[in-house]
């Protein structure tokens, strides 16, 4: 018996390298999902062209053309729901979402953030990691809740900070790990291994997580 891969919708705002990594993984047969659409809140997002080249439907909902946050989220929700996805994936989606929107997709809305959450939520992450003198940073995939970058985390990758790192070099090294991490994190949802329970606990293979699992045990020091 063959089962249909779960449908996903991916939300972007910019470059789209995580989107590209997800597309490539599905092409290689490493990620059993059906990417039904890519939605951008910015008409100039480079990721839109990546999706189009891959033959994936794209939709732009320009936040600047919406009266307010609530109208934007309402339009976004209507569009997402036309694709009936099992999972909504934020991949560099730079808009804060209203609590009502987030609640609608509770347990099926995930985000990737370039730090070891709960440390360094928000913007300008890598510079803050360097300024704080951290020797290890990384990336986190988490379920989205109303608190920015604050929802339950379920997979992390660790990356060493080098003495001579700038925010740019560190961002590039973390980004390469993000691409591996998101692929694996999405696969866990697609395979039905990960879920969020009513008390906001992450359940992996039927057991509540006590700590956030790491992708690989090593701290990545090279590229």
Which residue from 112, 153, 189, 196 is in contact with ligand GRF, where contact means CB under 6 A? 112
Tell me, yes or no, if 126 is annotated catalytic.
no
**Closest residue to ligand GRF in the complex (CB):** 92
Q: Mapping DSSP to helix (H, G, I), strand (E, B) and coil, where does residue 11 land?
A: strand
Shortest distance (Å) from residue 29 CB to ligand GRF: 22
Shortest distance (Å) from residue 206 CB to ligand GRF: 29
- Are the C-beta atoms of 211 and 58 separated by less than 8 Å? no
Cβ closer to ligand GRF: 11 or 189? 11
> What are phi and psi for residue 144, nearest 5 degrees?
-90, 130
Which residue, among 39, 44, 176, has the nearest Cα to 109 in the 3D structure?
Answer: 39
Which residue from 9, 89, 91, 157 is in contact with ligand GRF, where contact means CB under 6 A? 91
CA distance linking residue 147 with residue 122, whole number of Å: 11
Shortest distance (Å) from residue 217 CB to ligand GRF: 22
Which residue from 6, 107, 114, 152 is in contact with ligand GRF, where contact means CB under 6 A? 114
CA distance linking residue 131 with residue 68, whole number of Å: 35
Residue range at the interface with ligand GRF (CB under 6 A); choices 15-23, 65-73, 151-159, 191-199? 15-23
**What's the per-residue H, E or C state across 111-175?**
EEECCCCCCCCCCCHHHHHHHCCCCEEEEEEEECCCCCCCCCEEEEEEEECCCCCCHHHHHHHHH
Which residue from 16, 85, 138, 152 is in contact with ligand GRF, where contact means CB under 6 A? 16
Which residue from 161, 170, 178, 189 is in contact with ligand GRF, where contact means CB under 6 A? 178
Tell whether residue 15 is a contact of ligand GRF (CB under 6 A).
yes
Both tokens of 191, joined, read 């395979």
Using CB under 6 A as the criterion, which residues of the chain lie in contact with ligand GRF when the complex forms? 14-19, 47, 91-92, 112-114, 175, 178
By annotation, the residues acting in catalysis are: 113
């Amino acid at each position: 018996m063959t089962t249909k891969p779960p449908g996903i919708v991916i939300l972007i705002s910019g470059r789209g390298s995580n989107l590209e990594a997800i597309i490539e993984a599905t092409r290689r047969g490493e990620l059993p999902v059906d990417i039904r659409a890519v939605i951008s809140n910015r008409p100039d997002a480079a990721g839109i062209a990546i999706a189009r080249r891959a033959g994936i439907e794209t939709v732009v909902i320009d936040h600047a053309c919406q009266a307010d946050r609530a109208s934007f989220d309402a339009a976004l929700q209507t569009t997402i729901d036309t694709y009936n996805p099992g999972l909504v994936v934020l991949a560099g989606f730079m808009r804060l979402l209203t609590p009502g929107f987030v609640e609608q997709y509770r347990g099926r809305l995930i985000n990737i953030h370039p730090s070891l959450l709960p440390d360094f939520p928000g913007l300008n992450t890598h510079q803050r990691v360097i300024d704080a003198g951290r020797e290890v940073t990384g990336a986190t995939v988490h379920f989205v809740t109303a608190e920015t970058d604050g929802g339950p985390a379920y997979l992390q990758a660790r990356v060493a900070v080098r003495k001579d790192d700038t925010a740019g070099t560190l961002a590039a090294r973390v980004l390469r790990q993000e691409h591996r991490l998101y692929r694996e994190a999405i696969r866990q949802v697609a395979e039905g291994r990960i879920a969020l329970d009513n008390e906001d606990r992450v359940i992996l293979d039927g057991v509540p997580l006590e700590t956030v699992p790491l992708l690989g045990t090593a701290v990545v020091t090279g590229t």
